[in-house]
Amino acid sequence: MAGVVALFSTLALNLLCLAMAFDHSPLQDFCVFDANSPGCKNPGTVTADDFFYSGLHLPANTSNPYRAGLKAARIPGMNGQGLTLARLDFLPDGLIPPHYHPRAAEILTVLEGSLEVGFVKSYPNYKHYGKVLNKGDVYVVPVGLVHYQRGVGNANTVVLSAVNSQNAGIVEVAAGIFGAKPVIDSNYLANAFRLNKGIVEQLQSKCWS
């Protein structure tokens, strides 16, 4: 599971500069993020390029065990707008493991290839809402629900992802449980998941190895 941690660490780093930005006052038209100092960029120095990004036509890095990657559109002028935009790339059978965003819903638009996507409703029935999307298809994942994505078919898959938060958060289910530091007691996890304690400890050791 070390690959899970590496993948989601990459996702988090892609979003870090946006997450650390500042919300603007309602008395301002915008607050362009300034990487060199806290607060908003001086409006007198703001240009059209502060609202522009070029690069989503280039694929994200998929050289990881899950054969999937994310590239965020880092747009300084998006600061305070409650939005994040990213490109997701999947090699054939590439996947993003089950995870959730505690602070945002997500909308996915397939640009190329085919994507299996699904989310699970909360207790009591844990209903699974899954669907295979093709080019031009759009799917919404409600805020806070566990979901997954997987490239299907023989071709690469490209997806445009948008969330309605500047800092949606990413909690990967398996790494969040078995990769917690300090570790969660293995006896407890063995009972909770009805697993042999040795299997739990093996998962814990693999998660950060």
Q: Write out the binding residues.
A: 99, 101, 106, 147
- Cα–Cα nearest to 75, from 84, 65, 87: 84
What residues form the annotated binding site for Mn(2+)?
99, 101, 106, 147
Residue 178 CA to residue 128 CA, distance in Å, equals 23
Q: State the binding site for oxalate.
A: 101, 106
For residues 104 and 165, the answer to whether their CB atoms sit within 8 Å is yes
Spatial separation of the C-alpha atoms in residues 94 and 131, rounded to whole Å:
16
| 138 vs 208: CA distance, rounded Å | 35
Comparing CA positions, the residue from 69, 52, 50 lying closest to residue 61 is 69
Handedness of CA 131, 132, 138, 139 (dihedral sign): positive
Point out which residues pair with 68 in neighbouring strands.
Answer: 90
Q: How far apart are CA 108 and CA 141, in angstroms?
A: 8
